[in-house]
Amino acid sequence: MNSKSRNSGIAGQLRRLPTPVALLIGVLFGLFFSRLLPWSTSTATWRGYNVVAKSRQQSRQPIQLPTVEQRQRIFHLLTTLSPHYTKECSRNTQPLYQKQAMERYAPLIGHKSPSRSSWLGGFGMGGSVEPDYGAGRTIRDLVSSEHKYFFAINLYNSFDVIPDLFATLFRVAAILGYHNVYVSIYENGSTDQTKALLRIFDALTRSVGMRITIRTSTRRRGAFNHRIEYLAEVRNAAFGPLYELREGENEVFDTIVFMNDILPCVDDLLELIWQSRTNNAGITCAADYMYHDEIGSPVFYDNWVARDINGTALENAPFESIFHHAPSNDRFQKHLPIQVQSCWNGIAVLDPEPFYLPPHVKFRMARIAEGECSASECSLICNDYWNAGYGRIMMVPRVKLAYDRRVFDIIHPQRRNLTAIRGYVRMGGLPDDPRTDPQDRSWFGPHDRLFTEEESEPLEFTSGPEHVWCWGWDGAGDLEGPDVDPIWERMSNKSTNADAVIVRHVRSLP
């Protein structure tokens, strides 16, 4: 019998095998060869709705940190990609502010601080970017603080702010500890080059050892979608990895930082985190500003969400006319932290416990069928924090945020010789004392305004108001603003009790 006949005979015998037996042989054959070949199984994390691969999460595995030279190259590249805004925040700062900031934010350091340089080195405040711990060291050798931070960001047509946003995130993470930081970005519907730019920064972020998930979508709000329902879904999408890491890796976070497409300085984020942890606050907000063409100057922006502790809406007005509540207005003029009923204002630092524990809050639209006013999803989550007993909500006026360069330059002017400003002549006091410096008493003063003792004192929180001013937005489509008559909405009894502002989750600084 020749070979051709033998082969045809074997093939005939195989064809006579039962189907289950043939499948079993095929599976065993495939498993055998998979052992011999080096297949790659990592999952791309920057696009789509997939769970982050174990090899990329590394939340429970030691990772190799880049050397300081590698990180410096990335920082230099970021500087060339970010030529305008936030790189100027800490340049040429006055020495006393440098000293104050270093002492104030030292407890936030998440890595072992080197003896030879300052931890503020990457910000133009002296020292190196970060110490070189050697090629053989892992993150477990570097731990100074185990406080975990989850940064959530929504982006839409954000090409202009992405370089500054990422540059700030890099520097903040260098302080908090890259191993303590997780960044989750959800982008959808952009018509500019936002998606392409996110690809670049995804690679840069991973190169310095930061963990990040960037998910993009072409989804946009339909003509008949409820505005608040859509916005709530988009914000919740940025929280996807928060739950995936808990369920898949048993990793939980101690602080959430939710950011809009704003231009923050490094010390803006550090101050919000510092105030949040110092006060064990449920929600801690900045103050954001927009340019008002008729007035010709910046005005407070997010008055659809922000409410003072009496439940009254803040005003789209110049700095001195924002609060109706007199004690709050007095603190606002002094740049002191203020208790409020609700706020968001560009950046909000949140205690994550209400997301992890019952009642498991999340962004949502109003329960209109139950008569709830159709407020912003950010207003509603503040109300839910009150009801859950986490009503310690505060606003930090020192942190002033802009969405574009024009406003940024106005609210953060360069420090100048005081005798050249409107004829001011110093009559005494310290040159850099904010209580005796005529320039620093103006609202849009230099970014390196000195800290006062009152800014470090913990707030005394009181229970919430019985009624809150609500201007609903019920309609779909491209409405330019709220479309429901405003009302004074009665709040839950839970928010008016003293128990609503007790400390339930201790996140204090060491």
218-259 pLDDT tens trace: 888 766 678 889 999 999 999 999 999 999 999 999 999 999
Domain assignment of residue 60, yes or no: no
Given pLDDT bands bounded at 50, 70 and 90, which one contains residue 328?
Answer: very high
**Residue 133, pLDDT score:** 31
**pLDDT per residue as tens digits for the range 133-150:** 333 333 333 445 689 999
Domain assignment of residue 510, yes or no: no
**Residue 462, pLDDT score:** 97
Domain assignment of residue 198, yes or no: yes
Given pLDDT bands bounded at 50, 70 and 90, which one contains residue 334?
Answer: confident
Domain assignment of residue 56, yes or no: no
Per the structure, the complete domain to which residue 179 belongs is given by 68-412+447-501
Judged by DSSP in three states, 399 sits in strand
**Residue 291, pLDDT score:** 94
Given pLDDT bands bounded at 50, 70 and 90, which one contains residue 349?
Answer: very high
Cα separation of 275 and 395, whole Å?
A: 9
pLDDT at residue 8 above 60?
no
**Residue 79, pLDDT score:** 58
**Residue 216, pLDDT score:** 93
Domain assignment of residue 354, yes or no: yes
Given pLDDT bands bounded at 50, 70 and 90, which one contains residue 446?
Answer: confident
The two tokens of residue 214 are: 């960037």
**pLDDT per residue as tens digits for the range 68-108:** 777 777 766 665 665 456 777 877 788 889 999 999 999 99
Among residues 500, 491, 287, which one has the least CA distance to residue 385?
Answer: 500
**Residue 450, pLDDT score:** 86
Domain assignment of residue 426, yes or no: no
**Residue 50, pLDDT score:** 32
| Phi, psi angle pair for 177, to nearest 5° | 100, 120
Q: How many other C-beta atoms lie within 10 A of the C-beta of residue 205?
A: 24
SS (H, E, C) 95-140: HHHHHHHHHHHHHHCCECCCCCCCCCHHHCCCCCCCCCCCCCCEHH
Q: What is the CATH number of the domain that holds 184?
A: 3.90.550.10
Domain assignment of residue 302, yes or no: yes
Structural domains in the chain (count) = 1
pLDDT at residue 498 above 60?
yes
Q: What is the mean pLDDT of residues 308-335?
A: 91
Domain assignment of residue 14, yes or no: no
pLDDT at residue 32 above 80?
no
Cα separation of 284 and 277, whole Å?
A: 9
**Residue 241, pLDDT score:** 97
**Residue 411, pLDDT score:** 86
Q: What share of the chain is helix, strand, coil (3-state, %, to 5)?
A: 35, 15, 45
Q: What is the mean pLDDT of residues 169-188?
A: 93
E strands, 103-250, in order: 149-155, 181-188, 211-217
Given pLDDT bands bounded at 50, 70 and 90, which one contains residue 426?
Answer: very low
Question: Full-prediction pTM beyond 0.85?
Answer: no
| Burial category of 169 from C-beta neighbours within 10 Å (exposed 0-12, middle 13-18, buried 19 and up) | buried
Q: Are strands 255-259 and 347-350 parallel, antiparallel or unpaired?
A: antiparallel
The two tokens of residue 481 are: 């603003």
**pLDDT per residue as tens digits for the range 351-391:** 999 999 999 999 999 998 899 999 999 999 999 999 999 99
Pick from 11-25, 338-352, 409-423 the range whose average pLDDT is largest: 338-352
Q: Among residues of the chain, what percentage have pLDDT more than 90?
A: 49
pLDDT at residue 172 above 80?
yes
504 to each of 141, 200, 277, 340, how far by Cα in Å? 31, 41, 13, 18
**Residue 72, pLDDT score:** 72
**Dihedral of the CA atoms 299, 304, 306, 308 (nearest 10)?**
100
Judged by DSSP in three states, 89 sits in coil
